[in-house]
Amino acid sequence: METNDPIARLKSMVTGNFAAPMILVALLAMVVLPLPAFMLDLLFSFNIALSLTIMLASIYVLKPLHFASFPSILLIATLLRLALNVASTRIVLLEGHTGTAAAGNVIEAFGEFVIGGNYTVGFVVFAILVIVNFVVVTKGATRIAEVSARFTLDSMPGKQMAIDADLNAGLIDQDEARSRRDEIMQEADFYGSMDGASKFVRGDAIAGILILFINLIGGLIIGVVQHDLSFADAAHNYTLLTIGDGLVAQIPSLLLAAAAGLLVTRTSKAQDMGEQIVGQLFKDPKTLAATSAIIGGMGIIPGMPNVPFLTLAAAGAAGAWMLMQRQKAAEAAIRQQPQKAETPPELRELGWDDLSPVDPIGLEIGYRLIPLVDKNQGGQLMSRIKGIRKKISQELGFLIPPVHIRDNLDLSPTAYQITLFGVTFGEAEIHPERMMAINPGQVFGELDGIKGKDPAFGLDAVWIEANQREHAQAQGYTVVDVDTVIATHISKILQNHAHDLLGREEVQQLLDNLSKTAPKLVEGLVPDTIPLGGVQKVLQNLLEENIPVRDIRTIIESISEQAVNNPDPEIITASTRMALSHSIVQHVNGIQADLPIITLDPELEQILLQTLHATGDGGASLEPGLAENMHKNLNEAAQRQEMAGESSILVVQAGLRTWISRFIRHSIPSLNVLSYNEIPDNKQIRIVANVGR
């Protein structure tokens, strides 16, 4: 949005498109043009203030990604310091013979303060600063940046698969998944940039050493040869200027190197560094008490500095005592919370109200898994199950009943069971203190942990310690916590048995909601045209074959048209599938115009049709050899399609579709069975296999 305010427009130009070019031009001018001494004082002061600001920002930032511009800022600050070094070197060599104030008051003050009249002390202090900066801080920060960048890039596939697993389990929505993927990409870019930016800091430390010798040796030669100074005067002037210039440059360099080290050693948890260090270092008062005891023991040894040691021991003991008192007060406050008074139950006659109905969906857990569902103990499983219900309900088109969770002392302490209407459909034993590393099919190494299986999909897995998560992700494993393991297992069972959860109450609710938008469509349907149980059976048939009932309007229209002629739910289901053909094919094969299909040999189709007509009950009694060969050939054709990266679709005559679908539903779940009538006219059929006897 444009503005007529000239001040606002000037500010926008300075802080926007012209900021970077102006900085580069200023740096180039500092290198090429001679600067007066007062300008050097101003720029050196600004450089120190900028370095302090950057270091403090790296301390107070909550997460490394919150300071993602640090690599660029580090490069600009390094270039500024090098440009100042070039400008100060020019003045030192040109004007150093005039006195120690030739390069400005900042360089003179730093030189005199550190040297204190002794050049040897000055060189030693400068050498120590260079060693600390180059050997300790810069080298360590560079190594950490290299390792962080490598592990971040190696762990990206595992993190991406973990996000996909949470998304498929309904634990997160599309927006959160997109946000987490963006954060992973930003993290990889940040640590990759930090790896390169650390090389600038290291090179800057080397440049500082070279500039020191250039200024000192060059200044002595120029002062003695060109300006006829005595060796003592030349050494005094140029040594003070050289060491002052080196200190003014090395102190900001050390601050920036420390800032880089602090930033790359931060954890990814959003927490202030001071709170994190204090909270972890003084979490247990026993640590402080033991330290105070050791320091106090050293303080009573004859010949030791008793006062400092005993003073520190007393301070540490006082701090440990205060921490203990604070912990006791917190525990007492928890114990003093009002408890609900338990009243003895009244003795009364047993009635029908005492019989609890069976839960549509139940989760029974061992006593060690109770913290997972207890919000007071930080349990997140309840909220994740709620997210699963919401996701599956939106996908299938009807409301999934609530999940009733209760503890079961008959189970193992770390086991759980998933029940539908009182029948167990899934169970597993987990390790709540560990995380599950799932092998998706291709990994790059073995992990130390407890071998196991993913309860939802049966994949090989390893239960690992939480601190092994990044290492496992770098090896290609998909790492999830125990909440995700249970939630994914529940999601899988609910999707596979959605047809069992659709009762008459849910069907009536669907019709009531449809009557608000299409009242004429629902009017007179139940029970005049078809009973409510007939509508329920049709919807259950669709759900059993993984067809959502979200498009309830199209489904009810098809039921209304077909039920007038034939109320058989199986025939109505076949007609409804034809009405949903576009949705079914898109769900199986996407929006591609090309539809790869598998067909049956005409002779085999005739045999199956004759067998179906002979039985007359919707089933077929095949010879064991024929059924085994047909199943084997269909399985091989489906596997070839999966290896080719295409959907496996079997197309048969309408009279065979229902029977064949039930025949292979559990043994070959990846093979989708359609009839020729269910293929839309806009799809181009491509036969990829023909299965015979």
For residue 561, give the CATH number of its domain: 1.10.8.540
Select from 585, 534, 528 the least CA-distant residue to 555.
Answer: 534
Residue 83: is its pLDDT beyond 50? yes
Poorest-pLDDT segment among 3-7, 199-203, 226-230, 452-456: 3-7
Q: Residue 618: what pLDDT?
A: 56
Asked if residue 608 and residue 525 are part of one domain, the reply reads no
The last residue of a domain, from among 579, 597, 612 = 579
Q: Is the dihedral of CA 265, 270, 272, 278 positive or negative?
A: negative
Burial of 422 (0-12, 13-18, 19+ CB in 10 A): exposed
Q: Residue 480: what pLDDT?
A: 93
**Which CATH number goes with the domain that contains 693?**
3.40.50.12790
Q: Which phi and psi angles does 418 have, rounded to 5°?
A: -115, 125
Domains contained in the chain, number: 5
First to last CA, the chain: 73
Q: Residue 172: what pLDDT?
A: 74
Answer yes or no: is 349 within a domain: no
Asked if residue 311 and residue 185 are part of one domain, the reply reads no
Helix axes 156-168, 139-154, angle to 10 degrees: 40
Residue 6: is its pLDDT beyond 90? no
Q: Which residues have C-beta within 8 Å of that of residue 687, sequence separation ≥ 6? A: 596, 597, 598, 599
Answer yes or no: is 511 within a domain: yes
Answer yes or no: is 275 within a domain: no
Answer yes or no: is 540 within a domain: yes
Q: Residue 619: what pLDDT?
A: 58
pLDDT per residue as tens digits for the range 285-297: 777 777 778 878 8
**Strands 649-652, 672-675: pairing kind:** parallel
**Dist CA 164 CA 176 (whole Å):** 11
Q: Residue 275: what pLDDT?
A: 59
**In the chain, what percentage of residues exceed pLDDT 90?**
24
SS3 362: strand
Asked if residue 587 and residue 549 are part of one domain, the reply reads no
What is each CA distance from 346 to 294, 340, 341, 349, 356, in whole angstroms? 62, 17, 15, 10, 18
Contact 449, 464 (CB under 8 A): yes
Answer yes or no: is 328 within a domain: no
Radius of gyration of the chain (CA): 38
Select from 239, 325, 252 the least CA-distant residue to 285.
Answer: 325
Mean pLDDT of 201-211: 74
Helix axes 552-563, 569-579, angle to 10 degrees: 130
pLDDT winner (highest mean) among 22-36, 222-236, 612-626: 222-236
Asked if residue 593 and residue 455 are part of one domain, the reply reads no
Residue with tokens 């309904």: 170
Residue with tokens 């900001």: 252
Q: How far is CA 683 from the centre of its chain?
A: 39
Q: From the CB of residue 523, how many other CB atoms can be counted at a distance below 10 Å? A: 10
Asked if residue 235 and residue 127 are part of one domain, the reply reads yes
Burial of 14 (0-12, 13-18, 19+ CB in 10 A): exposed
Mean pLDDT of 611-633: 75
Asked if residue 539 and residue 628 are part of one domain, the reply reads no
The last residue of a domain, from among 579, 600, 633 = 579
Asked if residue 214 and residue 106 are part of one domain, the reply reads yes
Helix axes 231-264, 174-221, angle to 10 degrees: 170
Contact 256, 74 (CB under 8 A): yes
Domain region containing 314? 286-319
Residue 615: is its pLDDT beyond 70? no
Mean pLDDT of 314-343: 71
pLDDT per residue as tens digits for the range 273-328: 555 566 566 667 777 777 778 878 877 877 777 777 788 878 878 877 887 888 77
**Dist CA 480 CA 483 (whole Å):** 8
Cite the DSSP H helix spans in 336-373.
370-373
Asked if residue 619 and residue 521 are part of one domain, the reply reads no
273 vs 487, more confident:
487
Residue 205: is its pLDDT beyond 90? no
The strand order across the sheet containing 423-429 reads 403-407, 361-365, 415-420, 423-429
**Dist CA 50 CA 44 (whole Å):** 10
Contact 259, 270 (CB under 8 A): no
Residue with tokens 């920060």: 141
Q: What is the 3-state secondary structure (H, E, C) of 482-532?
A: HHHHHHHHHHHHHHHCHHHHCCHHHHHHHHHHHHHHCHHHHCCHHHHHCCH
Residue 341: is its pLDDT beyond 70? no
Q: Which residues have C-beta within 8 Å of that of residue 680, sequence separation ≥ 6? A: 581, 582, 585
Cα torsion through 406, 408, 409, 415, rounded to 10: -110
Contact 444, 395 (CB under 8 A): no
114 vs 482, more confident:
482
Q: Which residues have C-beta within 8 Å of that of residue 371, sequence separation ≥ 6? A: 377, 378, 379, 432
Asked if residue 516 and residue 484 are part of one domain, the reply reads no
Residue with tokens 């205060």: 322
Asked if residue 236 and residue 304 are part of one domain, the reply reads no
Asked if residue 309 and residue 363 are part of one domain, the reply reads no
Contact 447, 408 (CB under 8 A): no
**Dist CA 83 CA 95 (whole Å):** 18
Supply the mean pLDDT for the chain. Answer: 81
Structure tokens at 296: 């106090």
Poorest-pLDDT segment among 239-253, 391-405, 625-639: 239-253
Q: From the CB of residue 579, how many other CB atoms can be counted at a distance below 10 Å? A: 18
Specify the pTM.
0.56
Mean pLDDT of 219-239: 77
Q: Residue 575: what pLDDT?
A: 92
In the chain, count H helices and then E strands: 27, 12
What is each CA distance from 407 to 233, 377, 567, in whole angstroms? 88, 16, 45
What is each CA distance from 363 to 72, 241, 421, 432, 645, in whole angstroms? 52, 77, 11, 16, 37
Mean pLDDT of 507-532: 90
Half-sphere exposure of 669 (CA within 13 A, CB side): 5
Answer yes or no: is 553 within a domain: yes
27 vs 595, more confident:
595
7 vs 604, more confident:
604
Answer yes or no: is 144 within a domain: yes
Residue 466: is its pLDDT beyond 70? yes
The last residue of a domain, from among 465, 499, 533 = 499
Contact 50, 77 (CB under 8 A): yes
Asked if residue 588 and residue 555 are part of one domain, the reply reads no
Q: Residue 2: what pLDDT?
A: 47
Residue 540: is its pLDDT beyond 70? yes
Q: What is the pLDDT confidence band of residue 434, given thresholds at 50, 70 and 90? A: very high
Residue 1: is its pLDDT beyond 50? no
Answer yes or no: is 12 within a domain: no
211 vs 372, more confident:
372
